[in-house]
Amino acid sequence: MEISRENLDLKLSSYNYELPENLIASRPMAQRDCSRLMVYRISDNSISHTLFSELPNFLPEDSLLLLNQTKVFSCRLFGKKPSGGKVELFILSYDAREDGTYPCLIKSSGKKRKGDKYLVGDEVFVEIKEVTEEGHFWITLSSPIDDVLGRWGKIPIPPYIRKGESDERDESDYQTVFAKDMGSVAAPTAGLHFTEEVFSKLESKKVEKAFVTLHVGRGTFAPVKTEDLEDHKMHTEHYFYSPENRDKILQAQKEGRKVFCVGTTSLRALESSVNESGKFMAKAHVDYKTDIFLHPGKDVKSVSGLITNFHLPKSTLLMLVSSLVGREKTMELYREAVNLDYRFFSYGDAMLILK
């Protein structure tokens, strides 16, 4: 589909839509692959509706599926100040700096200063070592991070799901079955629909899997604050490929096979890994950074299609979908999803876009 630059709408207000609150999924389906799947074919402008378990029937044989194998860590901690007041800590990265400090957001009453200490549980001390101009903090933990998060950490479900209050069910629900590399503060939610049964069906159809690791940061929830999208500064995320997965992508391109991304994070990584002609250029085990912002007018060269969830109004994820099919078509698909009572956001239903 050619999206005419003359018809581009890059105003934030144009990416709003009405969503009844009851369509925000508070839990995933009991069987992951029983979520619904909307299928949109760009080639003939057709829309169909099925279940995610039928996904293999819509992907061509010998294609490649790229998935993000990042793993969510239990980064939310609740503690108290010496005065007894409550404090919430949101650790932004699983990896410490060389000085042993971790980046963190801190929510509590009163001003927060270097040297302030908090108690998590009955034995873990958290100390602020640095305050940034952006209002973030660098902290130390009195015990190893694995021990602290394993005992006291909470899974960071988004605030629009049950007010962000996670429980034991979310420890498995908010994690893909193929999660491997620890480091995300949010799940690559398009991957949540996959089951071993779906993978088995895909394998029988000779659909190959490849993985990238892109650790999703808190910036994925950051709202767009500029009315003109071209003024928006996208957050930066890190990604890398293993040698095996890099070779799979290169081989698929060499053989002219179709490549499909699972989720916006996989697409951001892959599109950041190709040159102007769409050739995959990334090396293995290199820590790449991307702040790519995909929206109408950006020519997406790396994929033949995308599997994605239904995203928040005015979000960069909604704009990314629009980069593939245009704003008007995206909003039309979302209106149909609302009319048919699709379930929205992280635990909701899915959409497959086929070029």
Please check whether residue 80 is in contact with residue 86, taking contact to mean a CB–CB distance below 8 angstroms: yes
Can you name the residues that pair with 78 across neighbouring β-strands?
88
Task: Report pTM.
Answer: 0.93
Residues in CB range of 36: below 8 A, 6 or more apart: 49, 50, 51, 52, 342, 343, 349, 350
| CB of 47 closer than 8 Å to CB of 336 | yes
Joined together, the tokens standing for residue 291 give 């702040």
H or E, element range at 7? none
Question: Could you give phi then psi for residue 19, rounded to 5 degrees?
Answer: -130, 115
- Residue 339's pLDDT is 98
Query: How far apart are the C-alpha atoms of 316 and 311, rounded to whole Å?
Result: 9
pLDDT score, position 7: 56
Strands 181-184 and 70-72: parallel
Q: Which two tokens stand for residue 280?
A: 């995959």
Which residues of the chain register pLDDT less than 50?
Answer: 1-6
- CB atoms under 10 Å from CB of 123, counted, come to 12
Whole-number pLDDT of residue 235: 87
Question: Could you write out the DSSP letters of every residue in 137-204?
Answer: EEEEESS-HHHHHHHH-B----TTSGGG---HHHHHHTS-TT--EEEESS--GGGGG--HHHHHHHHH
Q: What letter does residue 35 receive in the DSSP assignment? A: S
Nearest CA to 323 out of 343, 303, 350, 309 is that of 303
Instruction: Name all domains of the chain by residue range, CATH numbers in brackets.
Output: 5-72+169-354 (3.40.1780.10), 76-152 (2.40.10.240)
